[in-house]
Structure 1
Amino acid sequence: MQAEENLEAILLGAVLADRACGDCTACCTVLTVDTPEFRKPGGTPCDYLVAQGCSIHASRPHICRTWFCGWRRTAAMPDQARPDRSGLLVSLNFERAPRNCFEGVSIIVRTTDPGAAIDKSMAAAVLDSLCDRLVSVWFSDGAKKMLMHPSDDVATLVLSGDTAPVHLQAEVAAWREQYGVFGATA
């Protein structure tokens, strides 16, 4: 667990002192939690979530005390990107059985209400604040997910091992170096 917490700080940043969850409880519903101490399926409210928030806040599980969304960690994300305001929840995602090198450890932007319309300017601002590093970024509406970073042409070249055109060589080389441990293909 400590390794995941450190990785979250490295990839998303440390928890920002000037940002608090307030009334937001998006993580208590949207996320899947699967730890030895606590389990909850994604897309369902936690059994301890009540109208006033967490009914066991003072004794909540370790994962709930130490996990913070991307909005709490990413200074470049606008204040209005708080999940309960924007409808977008940003988190670091760990896939146990990734299909390719972009899925193992990634940032995922999830809609908190798949049926709701998404403010495209807010989604763009959130994505812009995340897509400036060598960490893959996915967008999910709950039913499917789409790779947003790196771009399709870069991702295809990284996975295929094909020679990149001159204008993409440096970017493809950087991604391959970062994810080379996973091999060229899925």
Structure 2
Amino acid sequence: MDRRDIPTQPHADVETALLGPILPDRACGDCTACCTELTVKTPEFAKPAGTPCIHLCDQGCGIHAIRPRICRTWFCVWRRVASLPDAARPDRSGLLVSLNFVDKPQTCLEGVSIHVRMLAGSDAIANGMAAAVLDAVCDQLVPVWFSDGAEKMLMHPDNDVAGFVLSGEAAPRHLQGEVAAWRERYGVFGLNR
């Protein structure tokens, strides 16, 4: 199940804890990728993934001054992670990176994760931007998924570590510490779903 919901406000503290605060020198500018790509499900406003927001116009958000709370409080990973280059802004890179929250994950590595989505028409794989973004976000104890629009793939932790985390089997000595850390943090989502 690939849920692409924009998280609601209670997740904001988790976002800050995992990714850091909003960077003061980064702004959305002309980027409106989240206004089209993401699912929004809040009591105040809802829209399906892949559908432009009804308020989106040629100049950006047509109701920016009074936009819904979710639109005022949600920020993509590019706005929070300084190691992502300026060229990684979604409208420049063709990649939308977000922190995802899945209520009923299929595996423990989907409950809270970073999701790197390739936007339609993107050449981020060919030009190396996808590799640069993945390098920047695959450096901490947060699962990272990559989606090219057709397939969703786990990029971090690597397959060996993920296999032991998910199977519950004893890991070889050289992986025991890493596997234990992932199990401790993500076991709350259930190891074998």
**TM-score band, normalised by the shorter chain?**
over 0.9
Of 19-28 and 4-13, the range deviating more from structure 2:
4-13
Which position in structure 1 is the counterpart of 2:114? Answer: 107
Offset at 1:11? 1.3
**Cα pair 1:48 1:54 within 8 Å, conserved:** yes
Q: Which residue pairs with 2:124 in the alignment?
A: 118
5+ residue gaps, structure 1, are: none
Shift of 1:95: 1.1
- Are the equivalent residues in 2 in contact too, given 1:13–1:73 (CA < 8 A)? yes
> Could you give the per-residue CA deviations for residues 103-135 of structure 1, whole angstroms, max 9, x where no partner exists?
11111001121x433245211111111111111
| Unmatched segments (≥5 aa) in structure 2 | 1-7
Partners of 1:86 and 1:119 within 8 A in 2: no
What is the correspondence of 1:25-104 to structure 2 with a 5 Å cutoff?
Answer: 25-104=32-111
- What SS does the corresponding residue of 1:163 show, helix, strand or coil? coil
2:169 aligns to what?
162
Residue identity opposite 1:150 in structure 2: P
TM-score w.r.t. length of structure 1? 0.95
| TM-score normalised to structure 2 length | 0.91
Structure 1 letter corresponding to 2:122: A
2: CA distance between counterparts of 1:146 and 1:184? 18
Report the count of equivalent residues: 185
Distance in 1 separating the partners of 2:74 and 2:84: 18
**Cα offsets for 1:136-163 (capped at 9, x unmatched):** 0101123321101011111110011111
Aligned to 1:132: 139
8 Å contact 1:157–1:164 — kept in the other structure?
yes
Match among 1, 10, 33 for residue 3 of structure 1:
10
Distance in 2 separating the partners of 1:105 and 1:142 = 20
Give the structure 1 partner of residue 4 of structure 2: none
Aligned residues: CA RMSD: 1.2
Q: Distance in 1 between matches of 2:89 and 2:38?
A: 15
Q: Which stretches of structure 1, 4 residues or longer, exceed 4 Å deviation after superposition?
A: none
